Amino acid sequence: MDGTTGPAAAQDGDATAADGAAGCDDLRVDGARLWEHLMALARIGATPRGGVCRLALSDLDRDGRGLVVGWARECGLQVTVDRIGNIFMRRPGRDPDLPPVMTGSHIDTQPTGGRFDGNYGVLAGLEVVRTLDDHGIVTAAPIEVAVWTNEEGSRFVPVMMGSGVFAGAFTLEQAHAARDADGRTVGDELSRIGYLGDEVPGAHPVGSYFEAHIEQGPVLQDHGVTIGIVTGALGIRWYDCVVQGMEAHAGPTPMALRRDALQVAARLMQEVVACAHRHPPHGRGTVGSVQVHPNSRNVIPGRVRFSIDLRNASDALCDAMDADIRATAARIAAETGLPIEVTQVSSYPAQPFDAGCIDAVARAAVRLGHSRMPVVSGAGHDAIYLARVAPAGMIFIPCKDGISHNEIEDASPAHVTAGADVLLHAMLERAGVVARGQRRR
């Protein structure tokens, strides 16, 4: 079970409701309304196989943004847009000087994406707002829902562009200059679809940030648990590895005289997985891509190039895995006499989430009686950049068979509702409830 603390442990409940949301324990989102809005947004760019194709800054992205912003305006939210196209939809609090408690995600999708990835986080945020409105809740801090530009990176790289510029991971100029396969830039496309805003990215204050998201992995389903309390994001190291052997005929070359690059590569490929197991509980090791030269049936491979993806929960553990795989490669090279080159090609630091935000999510799950467990995020999310500039946390809900970035991506209405309820209560705790009025409908 990959070393995550088991759901049974979490069931014991070490968190208790804080004072901030006192008197609101009975509040629940309207799950049916949230589902309807999810399905309405999924119609923009709907694919024949039940998924969504709504690439960042396309006409469909513009239409999706228009639908979401229209809903926000129906709720009376104040809408602002920054220069990378991030949208902020604000429900005022009692104290306008307090930084907002923010939630959000993205509405761009993969080319063969699903209905939930990103969209869920944005629409769960709007459902929180509607629920507060329904019950006449006044919060101390403002509540905001953000839509981050180009999280997927399918059309323009880097990924998580809007939140990355917001957090200063790269510059606005770099992002604006990014081009799609047809040569169109992010700057031009933002302008064309009407989302080149005025705000300076990052100038927008954030008191704390929560993001609800489908897990995009199989852990919650495997444990039969509803709520993943996300404690942080794994650090990532990417490498290219080249094993140099000697190309030779499969027939006339006896086994003892071979320098078979693929056989040596196969050993190291297995060590990538062994390295992950040597660094539990969160170590992950993947060889995803392989190129064999000359890749001919009766020729002993002379050169094999493959990718290595190592992940772990802290930069120190990533460093340890880095040292481990390099030493293993050197040992195999020495044992076989075949040179092995391991080159790091990119790296993303591990990002722990804020203890206060993690606790707020845990307390909300306890209060609502949902099964829950701590999990780490192995994938990238806007919340990971937000965590660089504000206290941040995430809420995961199960997705069917862990499948995402796929038209068959699916989540159950019950889980969608549960995650939004946890988001509501975590945000209320951080924002503080100062008054509760009549139920509007």
Q: According to CB under 8 A, which residues from 150 to 189 bind a second copy?
A: none
Residue 197 near residue 147, CB atoms below 8 Å: no
What residue type is assigned to position 350 of the chain? A
Torsions phi, psi for 244 (to 5 deg): -105, 115
Is residue 277 within the footprint of a second copy (CB under 8 A)? yes
The piece of 72-80, 94-102, 180-188, 399-407 that touches a second copy (CB under 8 A) is 399-407
Q: Is residue 360 involved in binding a second copy (CB under 8 A)?
A: no
Minimum gap (Å) between residue 281 Cβ and a second copy: 8
User: By C-beta, is 24 or 308 nearer to a second copy?
Assistant: 308
Q: Which stretch binds a second copy (CB under 8 A): 75-83, 85-93, 273-281, 329-337?
A: 273-281
Q: For residue 244, state whether it binds a second copy (rule: CB under 8 A).
A: no
99 counts as binding a second copy under rule CB under 8 A: no
List 135, 267, 305, 388, residue binding a second copy (CB under 8 A): 267
What binding mask, one character per residue, do residues 3-42 give for a second copy by CB under 8 A, x or -? -x--------------------------------------
Nearest-CA neighbor of 116 among 380, 351, 396? Answer: 396
- Does residue 440 contact residue 100 with C-beta atoms inside 8 Å? no
Residue 84, phi then psi, degrees to nearest 5: -105, 10
Q: Does 313 bind a second copy (CB under 8 A)?
A: no
Closest distance of CB 330 from a second copy, Å: 19
- Range in contact with a second copy (rule: CB under 8 A) among 32-40, 84-92, 203-211, 375-383: 375-383
Q: With binding defined as CB under 8 A, does residue 257 bind a second copy?
A: yes
Of 190, 219, 362, 411, the residue at the interface with a second copy (CB under 8 A) is: 219
Sole binder of a second copy in the list 48, 183, 251, 337 (CB under 8 A): 251
Indicate the SS3 state at residue 271. Answer: helix
Q: How many residues in the chain?
A: 441
Nearest residue (CB) to a second copy, 31 versus 378: 378
CA 205, CA 217: separation in Å to the nearest integer? 32
Q: Does 311 bind a second copy (CB under 8 A)?
A: yes
Distance CA 242, CA 333 (A): 11
As measured in angstroms, the least distance from the Cβ of 339 to a second copy is 18
Q: Is 263 in the site for a second copy (CB under 8 A)?
A: yes
Q: Which stretch binds a second copy (CB under 8 A): 18-26, 83-91, 324-332, 378-386?
A: 378-386
Strand partners, 402: none
Q: Does residue 224 contact residue 8 with C-beta atoms inside 8 Å?
A: no
CA–CA gap between residue 36 and residue 30 (Å, rounded): 10
Please say which residue, 64 or 245, places its beta carbon nearer to a second copy: 245
Give min distance, CB of 140 to a second copy, in A: 35
- Among residues 145, 144, 178, the alpha carbon closest in space to that of 160 is found at 178
User: What does the block give as tokens for 387?
Assistant: 């965590």
> How far is the C-alpha of 422 from the C-alpha of 369, rounded, in Å?
10
Interacting span for a second copy (CB under 8 A) from 68-76, 96-104, 125-133, 266-274 = 266-274
d(CA 142, CA 13): 29
CA-closest candidate to residue 305, choices 243, 239, 238: 243
Among 254, 337, 438, 439, binds a second copy (CB under 8 A): 254
Binding to a second copy by residue 49, rule CB under 8 A?
no
289 binds a second copy, rule: CB under 8 A? yes
Pair 147, 106: CB distance under 8 Å: yes
Distance CA 26, CA 47 (A): 39
Which of residues 135, 326, 405, 436 is near a second copy by CB under 8 A? 405
Token pair, residue 292, equals 């064999």
Look at phi and psi of residue 136 and say left if phi exceeds 0, alpha if psi is from -120 to 50, else beta.
left
Which residues lie across from 427 on neighbouring strands? none
Positions in the binding site for a second copy (CB under 8 A): 1-2, 4, 215-219, 222, 234, 236, 238, 248-257, 260, 262-263, 266-267, 269-270, 273, 276-277, 282-290, 292, 295-301, 307, 309, 311, 377-380, 402-405
